[in-house]
Amino acid sequence: MYTDILEAVETGSQSHLDACIVDTVIRSRRAIRAFRPDAVSKDDIVEILDVARTAPSNSNTQPWNVHVLHGRAKLELSEALGQAHVADDCPPLQHLPNPLPEVCRSWQEDFGARYYGALGIDKADVASRARATGRNFDFFGAPVGFIFTIDARLKKYSWLDCGIFLQTLMLAARARGLDTCAQVSFARYQTVIAQKLKLEPGFDVVCGMSLGYADENSVVNKLGLPRATVEQFATFLGFDG
Ligand SMILES: Cc1cc2nc3c(=O)[nH]c(=O)nc-3n(C[C@H](O)[C@H](O)[C@H](O)COP(=O)(O)O)c2cc1C
């Protein structure tokens, strides 16, 4: 696919890809939390993973592994995780430190206000918030779910590689009109997932991900989350002559 364009870029007869197309794919990605039931073909999933495997990694170590779940396999995992979530007997996963650094905390609060606001859930309504979190384990109704794992001996730089792999996958999906939501929520239920997916010992769950077509009518898919401006997070040095 696209071999003529790739060849043109590699041989220099075309100096760059169309930035407009690439930027549009990147900018159009959002975390989707309500999906249409429309099927995604296995061929499309394989093609997306085939693009994602070109992601860079430290010394080309490629630390990512992925279980791709569909149909009964996805349903069975969702049911087991749904039960574990309701039973609430797995220790909470502290995926962010408490307290958060101030800048991160204000963005997190903004996210919480928009997300629970869209769902009509009051900040203090713990039970409704827990039910909303539970939707993660149904992959938000998406027809395909991913569980990403990593050899537990690997360190933070390999987790960084996994993050790059995830974004590459999400962009390859977006380029095909598909949508995703990366989901750290799954990591809390590592033991349930290990048992259900028969994970090899010594592997950690990095996160999950939903894949499918967005339900564009759902308010939860229209959060329009803001970002810091370039001036707020970048420091430029040595550009003044
Ligand atoms: C590593 C990672 C883990 C995430 N985990 C969850 C999750 O468990 N549940 C969820 O609803 N969203 C999750 N998200 C989605 C983020 O909340 C979302 O990317 C962020 O708020 C920015 O919104 P946007 O992706 O729509 O731009 C996760 C995103 C990333 C990158």
Average the pLDDT over each of 18-22, 30-34, 120-124, 208-212 and give the range with the smallest value: 18-22
Going by CA atoms, what residue is nearest to atom 30 of ligand 1?
182
* Distance between first and last Cα of the chain: 44
- 74 assigned to some structural domain: yes
**Can you name the residues that pair with 68 across neighbouring β-strands?**
146
Is 11 a residue whose pLDDT tops 90?
Answer: no
Domain membership of residue 112 (yes or no) is: no
Prior bond to 63 cis, omega within 30?
A: no
Ligand 1 contacts CB of residue 93 (under 6 A)? no
Is residue 235 situated within a structural domain? Answer: no
Q: Are 137 and 185 in contact (CB under 8 A)?
A: yes
Does residue 187 contact residue 94 with C-beta atoms inside 8 Å?
Answer: no
pLDDT (mean) for 21-41: 97
Per the domain annotation, does 117 fall within a domain? no
> Does 203 sit in the ligand 1 pocket, CB within 6 Å?
no
CB 75 within 8 A of CB 69: no
Instruction: Place 12 in a pLDDT band, splitting at 50, 70 and 90.
Output: confident
Angstrom distances, CA of residue 185 to CA of 18, 130, 136, 215: 36, 12, 7, 21
Closest atom, ligand 1, to C-alpha of 227: 27
Does ligand 1 lie within 6 Å of residue 193's CB atom?
A: no
pLDDT at 8: 76
Beta bridge partners of 194: none
Q: Name the E strands within the chain.
A: 35-36, 65-70, 144-151, 179-183, 203-214
Of 160, 166, 181, which is best to mutate to test ligand 1, by the most ligand atoms within 8 angstroms of its C-beta? 181
In this structure, the residue with its CA closest to atom 10 of ligand 1 is 183
pTM of the model: 0.95
Residues 6+ apart with CB under 8 A from 121: 128, 129, 132
Question: What mean pLDDT is predicted for residues 195-213?
Answer: 98
Q: Whose CA is nearest to atom 8 of ligand 1?
A: 183
Mean local confidence (pLDDT), 145-162: 98
State in Å: Cα 225 to ligand 1 middle.
Answer: 11
What is the position in ligand 1's atom list of the atom closest to the CA of 167? 31
What is the Cα–Cα distance from 79 to 232, expressed in whole angstroms?
A: 43
pLDDT of residue 17: 72
> What pLDDT is recorded for position 239?
97
Query: Does the residue 86 lie in any domain?
Result: yes
Protein residue closest via CA to atom 4 of ligand 1? 183
Question: Which residue range forms the structural domain that includes residue 210?
Answer: 3-8+15-92+136-216
Let me know if residue 240 belongs to a domain. no
- Looking at the domain assignment, is residue 203 inside a domain? yes
Q: Specify the pLDDT at position 1.
A: 54
The span from the CA of 16 to the CA of 25, in Å, is 16
**181 Cβ below 6 A of ligand 1:** yes
pLDDT digits (tens, 9 = 90+) for 65-116: 999 999 999 999 999 999 999 999 899 999 999 999 999 999 999 999 999 9
Task: Return the best residue to mutate from 111, 207, 221 for the ligand 1 pocket (most ligand atoms within 8 A of CB).
Answer: 207
Q: How many domains does the chain have?
A: 1
Strand, coil or helix: 124: coil
Cβ–ligand 1 distance for 111 under 6 Å, the answer yes
Percent of the chain with pLDDT over 70: 98
CATH of the domain at 83: 3.40.109.10
Is residue 209 domain-resident? yes
